Structure 1
């Protein structure tokens, strides 16, 4: 979650991000820096991203760049995001 909002998980996570995307639009690209798949059902992914963020009202666009950590868990053969954290890279 953004640094100004409380941590969310489970069903609350979808609701929290729906609220975020009602007020901003992102146009970003991810670069995969490292992917580590464990012998089990977990993987760790380090990324960096850059692009723009637009606050929808008033329509104000600014550059956006972050570093991200994704923890993925395999469920029924599919990889799902189990944990996600990011911070500003600048």
Structure 2
């Protein structure tokens, strides 16, 4: 585990994450500040989720950014991302903790981060809660000197059979 942060009120780390990986071919060219900047983007994403703030969430993406949630079509571009996050935040409240498992700098402009998120998801309409356990992949792009989320995909880590019910 490289870094842990919670979106239920624990402040982001202020120290450099230990053990972050860098791609062999580019490790000499990538300053530690890139790892720190990417970590900051991930912390900001967690804060925006906690606050259910679609505007701040979307601002972390490139203008052609894409979210690829399971069981839904991908949403690409600022408008589609805004609509998707509004729908999400109008439907659920997440009380989760993120772990940053890996950050790999692939080039001066591209990186990826692998994370996990565990906690509780509450359906706002019914107030029913259930365990939340996802694995995520962020692909980030450096634009105008700042790291942004270019692509984001996630999938559940819940068991295929839970409480005798087989999930699809």
Structure 1 runs (4+) deviating above 4 angstroms are none
2:125 to 51, 57, 63: 57
Which moves more between the two structures, 48-57 or 1-10? 1-10
Question: Which structure has the bigger radius of gyration?
Answer: 2
Q: Which runs of 5+ in 2 are unaligned?
A: 1-67, 159-168
Partner-residue secondary structure (3-state), 2:90: coil
Gaps of 5+ in 1: none
Q: Secondary structure at the match of 1:6?
A: coil
**Which residue is 1:10 aligned to?**
77
Count of residues paired in the alignment: 90
Cα distance in 2, alignment partners of residues 21 and 4 from structure 1: 17
**TM-score computed with the length of structure 2 as normaliser:** 0.51
Name the one with the larger strand percent: 1
